[in-house]
């Protein structure tokens, strides 16, 4: 089910409607996820080593030192903007076009969130000793800094894990990764990391700037035409008004002021809560389709509606709204403080 992007709630709905049982508990679900994660991680390491060997071979065929390869790096975030809590950074070989290494950067750990406000207690310290090695919060700083830190971390482990050094780094100009790589001097100038510009990003930036220049010029020309048209219209209006005034003065009639029609507002349609019995309606649909309903499906429909209503009431409570607003404001303030301390590390064309 995870291959389809279905989580715990979706799995439990499916199991209930198919009458396969009550579904999974939270602890059972996350235990299975941990097992999947371990398997995926081990397979990924094997594939990364294989991709690195292919890149070494192709690099040597191009007349370069085999283990001093060229890679391009880029970052991606869980959501747009620079307040994302999760980010991923990858390195791709120049000749093989295969992913050689990947790192996930996170500013949050769900397990640690349960202990917020209890960090000074002995129970937390005992728990954290075991949890520290598997804590998912591995990044401090702004979200834009995730790409910089991720690339540097992958460069540091390249020799140990893949048996290669990244001699040339293809940059996209959107972050100050290369500048920070030089400062880190990971290989002690053996070799010194060189920068290659990504041709596609150079083309994109050139096109964008030419387009902006053309747009500015076009806007100026349009503005000039609008001004000229407005001046011409003003002259005609004054002339027409003057002529009308002279005619009405002769007839002894005062010209009427123009009237504008009253604006009417269309009343909003009443919204009807059609979700109050969502699970029950699904059961009705299945019943019409001559599907035999089992006890698990009926029991789930009742519990699902109760939990959904409780969540909705909690979400609409003023305390919840204020808490969400406060959390958003805190995130923005935290990110602003990081950017003030670090400087802007990620923006379009920042490395030009």
Which CATH number does the domain housing residue 101 bear? 3.30.420
Q: What are phi and psi of 71, to 5 degrees?
A: -135, 155
- Interacting residues of 105 by C-beta distance below 8 A, sequence separation 6+: 86, 87, 88, 89, 138, 139, 146, 149, 150
Q: What are phi and psi of 166, to 5 degrees?
A: -95, 100
Instruction: Write down the pLDDT at residue 154.
Output: 95
Q: What are phi and psi of 103, to 5 degrees?
A: -140, 140
Residue 44, domain member (yes or no): yes
User: Last residue of a domain, which of 162, 197, 232?
Assistant: 197
- Interacting residues of 324 by C-beta distance below 8 A, sequence separation 6+: none
Instruction: Write down the pLDDT at residue 98.
Output: 94
Residue 333, domain member (yes or no): yes
- The answer to whether 293 touches 19, Cβ cutoff 8 Å, is yes
Give the total number of structural domains in the chain.
2
Q: Is the pTM of this model over 0.75?
A: no
Closest of 262, 352, 346 to residue 74, by C-alpha: 346
Q: Return the biggest CA–CA distance within the chain.
A: 100
Rounded Cα distance between 164 and 52, Å, is 8
- Do 190 and 333 sit in the same domain of this protein? no
Residue 25, domain member (yes or no): yes
Which residues constitute the domain of residue 170? 2-107+143-197
User: Last residue of a domain, which of 179, 197, 215?
Assistant: 197
Residue 98, domain member (yes or no): yes
Residue 114, domain member (yes or no): no
Instruction: Quote the tokens at residue 14.
Output: 């499916």
Please list the residues that pair with 91 across neighbouring strands.
73, 101
- The answer to whether 176 touches 350, Cβ cutoff 8 Å, is yes
Residue 273, domain member (yes or no): no
User: Last residue of a domain, which of 197, 215, 240?
Assistant: 197
- Do 335 and 190 sit in the same domain of this protein? no
Residue 47, domain member (yes or no): yes
Residue 27, domain member (yes or no): yes
Instruction: Write down the pLDDT at residue 274.
Output: 39
Print pLDDT tens along the chain (352 aa): 777 778 888 888 888 888 888 788 888 998 898 899 899 999 999 999 999 999 999 999 999 999 999 999 888 888 876 678 899 999 999 999 999 999 999 998 888 888 888 888 888 888 888 888 888 899 888 888 888 999 999 999 999 999 999 999 988 766 678 888 999 999 998 889 998 876 666 666 677 778 787 778 777 777 778 788 777 777 777 666 666 666 666 666 555 555 444 444 443 433 333 344 567 777 788 778 887 778 888 788 778 777 777 777 777 766 666 777 777 777 777 777 777 776 666 655 555 5
């Amino acid at each position: 089910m995870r291959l389809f992007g279905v989580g715990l709630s979706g799995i439990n709905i499916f199991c209930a409607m198919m009458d396969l049982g009550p579904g999974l508990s939270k602890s059972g679900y996350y235990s299975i996820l941990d097992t999947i994660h371990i398997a995926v991680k081990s397979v990924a390491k094997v594939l990364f080593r294989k991709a690195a060997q292919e890149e070494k071979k192709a690099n040597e065929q191009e007349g370069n030192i085999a283990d001093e390869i060229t890679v391009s790096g880029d970052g991606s975030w869980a959501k747009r903007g620079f307040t994302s809590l999760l980010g991923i950074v990858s390195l791709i070989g120049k000749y093989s076009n295969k992913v050689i290494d990947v790192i996930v950067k996170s500013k949050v750990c769900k397990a640690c969130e349960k202990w917020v406000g209890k960090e000074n207690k002995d129970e937390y310290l005992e728990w954290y000793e075991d949890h520290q090695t598997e804590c998912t919060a591995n990044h401090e700083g702004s979200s834009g800094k995730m790409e910089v830190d991720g690339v540097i971390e992958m460069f540091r482990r390249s020799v140990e894990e893949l048996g290669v050094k990244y001699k040339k780094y293809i940059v996209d100009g959107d972050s100050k990764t290369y500048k920070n790589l030089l400062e880190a001097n990971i290989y002690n100038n053996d070799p010194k990391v060189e920068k290659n510009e990504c041709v596609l990003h150079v083309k994109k930036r050139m096109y964008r700037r030419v387009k902006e220049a053309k747009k500015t010029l076009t806007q100026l020309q349009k503005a000039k035409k609008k001004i000229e048209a407005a001046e011409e219209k003003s002259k005609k209006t004054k002339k027409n008004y003057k002529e009308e005034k002279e005619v009405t003065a002769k007839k002894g009639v005062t010209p009427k002021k123009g009237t504008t029609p009253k604006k009417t507002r269309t009343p909003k349609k009443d919204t009807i809560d059609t979700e109050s019995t969502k699970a029950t309606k699904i059961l009705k649909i299945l019943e019409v389709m001559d599907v035999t309903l089992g006890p698990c499906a009926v029991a789930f429909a009742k519990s699902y509606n109760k939990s959904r209503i409780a969540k909705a009431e909690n979400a609409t409570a003023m305390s919840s709204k204020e808490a969400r607003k406060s959390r958003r404001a805190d995130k923005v303030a935290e990110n602003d403080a990081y950017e003030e301390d670090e400087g802007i590390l990620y923006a379009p064309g920042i490395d030009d």
